[in-house]
Structure 1
Amino acid sequence: MPQLIEKQILDAPIWSILLVNGKEGIFSMGGTSVASDREVERETADDLDRIGGHQSRQEEHGRNEHNSRKSEDDLNEWKWIKVQGAEGWWQVLMRGIWIDGVKILANQPAVLDVNTPFIIAPPLAARTFYSSISGSKQLPPPFDQFTAYPCFNPPRVHFEFASWNFEVLKGKRDQGTFSPGGRFSLGRMTTGSGYCLGIVVESRMGARAAEARESKSGVKVEGGDGLSDVWVIGEPFFRDVQIAFNWRDKLVGMQRA
């Protein structure tokens, strides 16, 4: 003890030994006060709680990663959806449309058509869609089917079928072409513009059919030809999602491309 004090390792002639047991508390010998024992006991308990909490968070993180991997794996398997509507139409129900992680539309009927170069949306749905994209603006007539958005702020778009969300229209354009809006873009509004035209286009199918019938008959026609409220999911969708058609059972299969 004198040597320890002389070397200034200790500043008082007091010694103690503390044995810490996480299950049964603290055993001490020497000159440690009861208050100090209790203080160390509290600090030790707090440390053990923090370690336990950290382990719990690690376990939770591990579970989340596992669930995420399961979700990713789930999208790589074929999912089958019942065809709806009239005979000969491959019409399915989109359970939701998501923009930047927010569900903006639900239960939208959709026709799958690989020959259509756009994603065509009913008028109200198209306006709801673009109202969720900051800075977007509808073009004036006669180009009001199209909507522009800031080229460097393309949205993250997910289409939900049954319980599966597929991210679509993501990434860059095809090799040899360029648009700062990526695959969501049809190109710049004008050379040097910071605005691009979105590939989701407002439909005129039902409205035009109604106008034609009205002009011939002279009678006001309410509604269209059944397509006015239907999305037409065109070729851009098929780049992200593989589609298979089961003619016998009237099913559409989907798998992430």
Structure 2
Amino acid sequence: MIPFNEAKKMQMQESDFSGLPAHTRQFVERIHSDGLDRVRIHGIFVMLGLCAGAPDTQERLNELFKTLDVAIPVDRTKNIDEVVGDVYDGYDREIHEFCYRSGFEFNFREIKIPNVEKIFYIVELKDHGLFNVDTLSIEKLVDASRLYDAFIESIGSHTANRGASLVEAFGCGMFQIMLLARSDISGSRQIAELIKSCLPLIYSQYFSTLRGNSVEYFLGLERGQVPLLSLMQPMRMDYAQQMWGFQSSLFYQDQKPLEGVDSLTVQDWHDWVLKKAIDFDAGYPTQLVPF
């Protein structure tokens, strides 16, 4: 039997969905069924708030919230601290350790206090022992995956344990980055840019889905297709189209989903992909674009 506290961490609560539109709830239920537990889903929403709340031009903010407000409606006419004051307890230590373990160089503003010799910054690059990882730089996809998993679990536990909604979790992230921006606008932007620029593929697609309010399209994807979208976005159009055609052959036949693909072992999946690659090459011998 799973202990109650562990089950609460894993399973979504009705309170999580308070204030969420029906289509965003469907998105959350989908990523939960795909294996993301409740705490990490809270972490995703906090992390999205950290990025969305960073200072930017009014034009860019208007463009961002034009779609984001549809997915996560937050009343931005209210002071954000009024919205999240009862559930916000800060993410400073998590941000400090995340920035430290990223290995990135930052240019934070010096904060000087009268009659105090020490110089302060909005982030103290330090290992607080919060993350159960040994990552000290993001050089490979595996580094990003391990660090972000630890980060979202840590920041997600705050609002999840308090019984807050996902809308409130998003607001908490916004409030945190706004507080940092009061002392260092450029520094807060650097933190948000770091988070966005190093996202693992699947988290990147979660972000894109919510920021672009493209939930309906997302729900039509097979689980294995989700990270491939982010992988192909930087590619040349002709190569991306070819890659999308190939990956479709991994999941579909005659436009119908293939059964059992999601349950393949790693070795069986590798063998399946290799077989389909050979078939795809044989089927289009003169049309394929070189990698």
TM-score by length of 1: 0.23
Higher strand share: 1
Asked which structure has the greater CA Rg, the reply is 1
Higher helix share: 2
Bigger relative contact order, structure 1 or 2, given CA contacts below 8 A and separation 6+?
A: 2
